[in-house]
């Protein structure tokens, strides 16, 4: 079928000029995506995308809601593809017509035709509309020059009923995703998903109090804070789990990311005249919204970023207590270990009452919202005070993980991020770039002071089978080599302890290659487990029992694996000679989906450059 015949010609004009009848004329508009561009945002914020949509007659700038981001990440939403708009929000912001896309489907059978027709920009109705505005991100259309009134319009979301409760500005519902400091006279309809306690502060300059709530609608989330008088005014009114209409005046400011776990560049500050009413319809707003990051992807997430993670509970630690160095106050904590189907595990620390009251059983699926990423011990996670965790949630990701774990994951081995150095390569200026082996050698990585870090996709060719492990101290936190005393015990000089037996840890030399060359990598215990699939204790037991066939089978199974390695290169001295030592910091199976996306981007860059 000709793609041009499927386009809903005139749909954009109807959406913005005839909102009452657009649903009859164009119940599900079909448009062409002419352009996709990422929006700039604060470090650690969720990706935001601007797209340009055409109905052949006109084109309009559009903003993609974050819940549709997966279509970009999966390589489905691409330039010139044909899309079906299932849920949208038209707005006129400072004279610019903007379409906010809340739901979208790519019509893959129509492919990616060339640009259809010669559409022109849909002109705003205002005669004096400025050419620039900012919405939902930085530099959406340019720098701010002057402020004008925002006049939002609605589609596919019911308008707020007229009330007699005083001046509420516009009766149109404004999506949270579109809020910015340049939006005025708006009303949002949102659910309070989290409500914090009232906190006080005392400083030489004065004292005060505040509380915060997290607000959610189907387009996004935002934090709202009330200070001092607004604590008394709104704290009892806003109840967790309920849906409210919230109308300006209400200040929209840049989000303080150190105090928020939400993927929004902005936050709200409640004012004296902010109007808040409980909605009669409590069911039309979603209960919770996650932006999950897989455990494997944590290795590329910046320190102190906030993420949502879902995983299967593997281990539950006991409650312990630490004392804060700054406040000298004691805090209870509990450490959990979760795994997912990327075959990675990570440690999650929960605090206070959450730690004390935790009663989930191992093998439960837990969804965490609001985890702070730490580089302590490689990569670990800590639940923020504003974060939440839900055991066995009724969501698709949880059901998928439960099915995977029950079918195969229970017996899998899991890699960790504990071998990663903090902010790999950040100190040297050489980041985690993907390299071929020949590039590593030609660029002389490791010849500089300090270490250079790189990523390598390579196949294991050979593993030295003789010296693959060493006897280590069994005391937690001490991995020093122990000495066989000869009386049946093993002595750790560092801990001044004799053990009845050691715990064996991997210290392996592995030869890997890609299509360009080969390289020897040093691998320690965590990486060795990821490669071999069994612990060093298990492999040493096979060796000492004389079962050479079983031992050889383990080595054979590990050979010829193609893995994703995070590596470091550093100059070391061996005897009187210096040479570069290459160390594998982590190893994991290739994520072919991610690698496919990388290849697509390379092809696009080549196409553009040629």
Q: Give CA–CA dist 522/567, Å, rounded.
A: 9
Query: Containing H/E element for 30?
Result: strand 30-39
Domain 176-278: assigned CATH number: 2.40.50.140
Bridge partner list, 311: 366
For residue 540, give Cα distances in angstroms to 412, 469, 504, 524, 587: 20, 8, 7, 15, 21
**3-class DSSP assignment, residue 389:** strand
Burial annotation 485-499 (CB, 10 A radius, 16+ → b, else e):
eeeeebbbeeeeeeb
- In this prediction, residue 418 carries a pLDDT of 59
Say yes or no to pLDDT of 338 above 90: yes
CATH architecture of 3-121: Beta Barrel (2.40)
Percent above pLDDT 70 for the chain: 84
Q: Give CA–CA dist 49/62, Å, rounded.
A: 9
Q: Give CA–CA dist 339/414, Å, rounded.
A: 7
Query: Which class would CATH give 434-468+507-595?
Result: mainly beta
Kindly state the DSSP code that residue 264 receives in the 8-state scheme: -
Q: Please list, in sequence order, all residues whose beta carbon lies within 8 angstroms of the beta carbon of residue 366, skipping any fewer than 6 positions away.
A: 310, 311, 312, 313, 336, 338, 360, 389, 390, 391, 392
- In this prediction, residue 373 carries a pLDDT of 87
Say yes or no to pLDDT of 609 above 60: no
Mean pLDDT over residues 518-525, rounded? 92
Global pTM? Answer: 0.45
Interval 70-79: pLDDT, tens:
888 888 899 8
Interval 535-569: pLDDT, tens:
999 998 888 888 888 888 999 999 998 999 989 88
- In this prediction, residue 515 carries a pLDDT of 92
Q: Which of 141, 117, 131 is nearest to 34 (CA)?
A: 117
Residue 219 buriedness (CB in 10 A; 0-12 / 13-18 / 19+): buried
Say yes or no to pLDDT of 425 above 60: no
Chain centre distance of CA 166: 41
Say yes or no to pLDDT of 159 above 70: no
Q: Please list, in sequence order, all residues whose beta carbon lies within 8 angstroms of the beta carbon of residue 457, skipping any fewer than 6 positions away.
A: 434, 514, 562, 563, 564, 565, 590, 595
Three-state SS for 105-155 is: EECHHHCCCCCCCCCEECCCCCCCCCCCCCCCCECCCCCCCCCCCCEECCC
- In this prediction, residue 253 carries a pLDDT of 87
Chain centre distance of CA 257: 15
For residue 363, the tally of other CB atoms under 10 A from its CB is 13
In terms of CATH, what superfamily is 297-416?
A: Nucleic acid-binding proteins (2.40.50.140)
Q: Give CA–CA dist 276/248, Å, rounded.
A: 9
Mean pLDDT over residues 471-494, rounded? 87
For residue 406, give Cα distances in angstroms to 114, 339, 399, 410, 529: 47, 13, 11, 6, 22
Say yes or no to pLDDT of 534 above 50: yes
For residue 290, the tally of other CB atoms under 10 A from its CB is 18
- CB-based contact 318:310 (threshold 8 Å): no
Interval 234-251: pLDDT, tens:
999 999 889 999 988 888
Lowest mean pLDDT among 155-164, 349-358, 481-490, 539-548: 155-164
In which residue ranges of the chain is CATH 2.40.50.140 found?
3-121, 176-278, 297-416, 434-468+507-595
Say yes or no to pLDDT of 145 above 80: no
Out of 141-150, 198-207, 363-372, 409-418, give the one with best mean pLDDT: 363-372
Say yes or no to pLDDT of 258 above 90: no
Average per-residue pLDDT for the chain: 80
Say yes or no to pLDDT of 154 above 60: no
Say yes or no to pLDDT of 533 above 50: yes
Percent above pLDDT 90 for the chain: 22
Interval 564-605: pLDDT, tens:
998 988 888 766 677 888 999 888 888 887 778 778 877 876
- In this prediction, residue 605 carries a pLDDT of 65
Out of 217-221, 281-285, 482-486, give the one with best mean pLDDT: 482-486
- CB-based contact 170:151 (threshold 8 Å): yes
Say yes or no to pLDDT of 151 above 50: no
Q: Give CA–CA dist 76/597, Å, rounded.
A: 10
Mean pLDDT over residues 38-48, rounded? 63
Lowest mean pLDDT among 170-184, 287-301, 488-502: 170-184
């Amino acid at each position: 079928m000709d793609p041009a015949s499927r386009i809903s010609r005139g749909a954009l004009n109807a959406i913005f000029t005839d909102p009452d009848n657009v649903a009859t004329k164009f119940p599900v508009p079909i448009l062409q995506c002419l352009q996709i561009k990422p929006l700039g945002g604060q470090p650690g914020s969720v990706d935001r995308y601007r797209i340009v949509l055409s109905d052949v007659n006109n084109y309009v700038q559009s903003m993609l809601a974050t819940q549709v981001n997966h279509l970009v990440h999966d390589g489905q939403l691409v330039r010139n593809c044909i899309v079906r708009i299932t849920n949208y929000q038209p707005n006129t912001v400072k004279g610019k017509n903007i379409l906010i896309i809340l739901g979208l489907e790519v019509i893959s059978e129509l492919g990616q035709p060339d640009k259809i027709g010669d559409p022109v920009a849909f002109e705003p109705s205002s005669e004096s509309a400025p050419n620039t505005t900012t919405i939902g991100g930085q530099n959406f259309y340019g720098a701010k020059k002057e402020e004008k009134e925002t006049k939002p319009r609605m589609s596919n979301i019911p308008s707020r009923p007229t009330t007699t409760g005083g001046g509420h500005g516009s009766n149109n519902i404004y999506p949270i995703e579109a809020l910015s400091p340049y939006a005025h006279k708006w009303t949002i309809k949102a659910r309070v998903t989290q409500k914090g306690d009232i906190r006080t502060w005392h400083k030489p300059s004065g004292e005060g109090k505040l509380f915060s709530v997290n607000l959610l609608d189907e387009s996004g989330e935002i934090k709202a804070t009330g200070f001092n008088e607004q604590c008394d005014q709104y704290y009892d009114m806003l109840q967790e789990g309920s849906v409210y209409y919230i109308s300006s005046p209400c200040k929209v400011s840049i989000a303080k990311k150190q105090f928020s776990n939400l993927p929004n560049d902005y936050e709200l500050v409640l004012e004296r005249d902010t109007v808040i009413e409980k909605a009669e319809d409590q069911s039309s707003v979603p209960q919770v919204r996650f932006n999950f990051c897989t455990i494997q992807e944590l290795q590329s997430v910046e320190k102190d970023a906030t993420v949502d993670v879902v995983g299967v509970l593997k281990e539950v630690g006991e409650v312990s207590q630490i004392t804060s160095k700054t406040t000298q106050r004691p805090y209870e904590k509990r450490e959990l270990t979760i795994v997912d189907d990327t075959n990675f595990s990570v440690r999650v620390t929960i605090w206070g009452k959450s730690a004390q009251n935790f009663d989930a059983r191992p093998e439960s699926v837990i969804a965490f919202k609001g985890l702070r990423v730490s580089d302590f011990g490689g990569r670990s996670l800590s639940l923020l005070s504003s974060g939440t965790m839900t055991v066995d949630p009724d969501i698709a990701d949880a059901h998928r993980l439960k099915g995977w774990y029950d079918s195969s994951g229970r017996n899998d081995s899991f890699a960790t991020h504990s071998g990663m150095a903090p902010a790999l390569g950040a100190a040297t200026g050489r980041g985690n770039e993907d390299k071929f082996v020949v590039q590593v050698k030609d660029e002389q990585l490791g010849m500089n002071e300090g270490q250079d870090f790189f990523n390598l996709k390579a196949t294991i060719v050979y593993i030295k089978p003789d010296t693959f492990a060493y006897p280590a101290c069994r005391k937690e936190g001490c991995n020093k080599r122990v000495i066989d005393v000869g009386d049946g015990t093993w002595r750790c000089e560092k801990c001044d302890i004799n053990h009845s037996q050691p715990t064996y840890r991997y210290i392996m030399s592995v030869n890997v290659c890609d299509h360009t060359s080969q390289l020897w990598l040093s691998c320690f215990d965590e990486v060795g487990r990821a490669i071999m699939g069994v612990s060093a204790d298990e492999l040493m037991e096979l060796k000492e029992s004389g079962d050479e066939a079983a031992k050889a089978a383990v080595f054979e199974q590990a050979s010829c694996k193609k893995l994703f390695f995070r590596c470091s290169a550093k100059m070391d001295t061996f005897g009187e000679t210096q040479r570069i030592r290459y160390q594998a910091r982590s190893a994991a199976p290739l994520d072919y989906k991610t690698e496919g996306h990388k290849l697509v981007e390379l092809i696009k860059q080549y196409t553009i450059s040629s």
